[in-house]
Amino acid sequence: MPPHDTIRAVEWKDNHLILLDQRKLPHAEHYLQLYSAEDTAEAIRNMVVRGAPAIGIAAAYGLLMAARKAFKQYPHDWRARLQPDIEVLAAARPTAVNLHWALQRMLKALDEHDADPIHTLMAVAQQIHQADIEANHRMALLGSELIKPTHGVLTHCNTGSLATGGYGTALGVIRAAYGEGKIEQVYADETRPWWQGSRLTAWELMRDKIPTQLICEGAAAHLMKLGKISWVIVGADRVAANGDVANKIGTYSLAVLARFHGVRFMVVAPTSTIDLETVSGEQIPLEERSADEILNVNQQRIAAPQVGAWNPAFDVTPGKLVDILVTEKGIVLRPDTEKLSTLMQS
């Protein structure tokens, strides 16, 4: 088994938030100390912390810090004073539903237990964090059971400890399956333009000593055609009620290619990523980021002068292209509205 991962993208310590600055990986491990919701929202916006579950956990701690400050400064109307902090956190990144889910969980707890609000918020934030780690270990076992010994799997973006409370979603399944001797080779998309694959997934898997080859996204079809992989295993930022999956740009292409080549397509996501209030993928807000992320590398322009760029950060894979959705509550084959409703009621 690979060593139990010790990477902590998000940590609550001494009443403030500590974030591993993922913009600087893999060449530097630099931690930021944050003390406000505003700083937390900026860190999420700037992808100091990224990955749907990690974003939700960070937002929960951001709200906790805002509440502690408001409660001290405005003991009689602190809750009303929180609104701007809630809004700035909620607006930080639009696609990952975990951010909104975490904030709603925190506010609902306040409505139900307002006797000692700060203690309540601290307990809920830490419960959200710990539950995510436990969900990842559960999903790793469930997902790995589905994988017969195979030569290779392909993953996209980063879905490991850096994207979650710890261990990872899709990367957690890969870690567990490798540990059980079921995977010989991991292929990881470099995942332009933010390079989550080259910089983050490769860093995590090299720490675990898991054999990994990076590929350009454009090589995925050729990899499948040569029969080098049996699975594409990815995460999610939001699963709509009908099973449509929003995930890093390029995921939809992989799903179409996988179906064409008879490669199985697995999405691994905790139920905090499933959003029954969003009827289908058409309604999922898809973040567009700065063209500079495409035009520049390390703040140096690589693109021809004057050319522009279109930079959607996510796309939507129809549920019918998802062979298996793995959650901590169980697996769903070809997710659809009825199956997800049943899962979420279980």
Ligand X SMILES: CSC[C@H]1O[C@H](OP(=O)(O)O)[C@H](O)[C@@H]1O
Which residues are documented as binding site for substrate?
50-52, 93, 196, 247-248
Q: Which amino acid is at 220?
A: A
Single out the segment in contact with ligand X by CB under 6 A; choices: 9-17, 203-211, 234-242, 333-341: 234-242
Between 17 and 313, whose beta carbon lies closer to ligand X? Answer: 313
Residues 275-334 that bind ligand X (CB under 6 A): 313
Give the separation between CA 331 and CA 334, rounded to whole angstroms. 10
Stretch in the footprint of ligand X (CB under 6 A) among 70-78, 159-167, 221-229, 293-301 = 159-167
Select 125 or 234, whichever has its Cβ closest to ligand X.
234
Question: Applying CB under 6 A, does 56 fall inside the site for ligand X?
Answer: no
Site for ligand X in 15-44 (CB under 6 A): none
Catalytic residue among 5, 208, 237, 315: 237
**Which listed range, 49-57, 70-78, 176-184, 217-225, lies at the site for ligand X (CB under 6 A)?**
49-57
224 scored as a contact of ligand X (CB under 6 A): no
In this structure, are residues 232 and 254 in contact, taking their beta carbons and an 8 Å threshold? yes
Residue 105: both structure tokens together: 């969980």
Please choose, from the candidates 270, 255, 226, 221, the residue with its C-alpha nearest in 3D space to the C-alpha of residue 323. Answer: 255
d(CA 265, CA 271): 18
189's enclosing H/E stretch is strand 183-189
Out of 120, 161, 169, 201, the residue judged to bind ligand X by CB under 6 A? 169
Binding site: residue ranges? 50-52, 93, 196, 247-248
Q: Which is nearer to ligand X, 102 or 157 (CB)?
A: 157
| CA distance linking residue 179 with residue 162, whole number of Å | 19
Catalytic residue flag (residue 237): yes
Sign of the C-alpha dihedral computed for residues 323, 327, 332 and 336 taken in this order: negative
Among the listed residues 196, 230, 271, 272, the single contact to ligand X using CB under 6 A = 196
Q: How many chain residues interact with ligand X (CB under 6 A)?
A: 16
Give the one residue of 40, 144, 155, 159 binding ligand X; rule: CB under 6 A: 159
The three-class DSSP label of residue 11 is strand
Q: Tell me the DSSP string of 87-151.
A: HHHHTS-SS-HHHHHHHHHHHHHHHH--SSHHHHHHHHHHHHHHHHHHHHHHHHHHHHHTPPSEE
Report the residue from 152, 193, 197, 235 that binds ligand X according to the rule CB under 6 A: 235
- Shortest separation between residue 215's beta carbon and ligand X, angstroms: 17
Helix (H) or strand (E) holding 261: helix 251-261
Q: Does 166 bind ligand X (CB under 6 A)?
A: no
Does 51 participate in binding ligand X (rule CB under 6 A)? Answer: yes
Which residues, at least 6 apart from 237, have a Cβ–Cβ distance to it below 8 Å? 52, 95, 96, 97, 98, 246, 247, 248, 273, 314
Residues that bind ligand X (CB under 6 A): 50-53, 157, 159, 163-164, 169, 196, 234-235, 237, 247-248, 313
Catalytic residues: 237
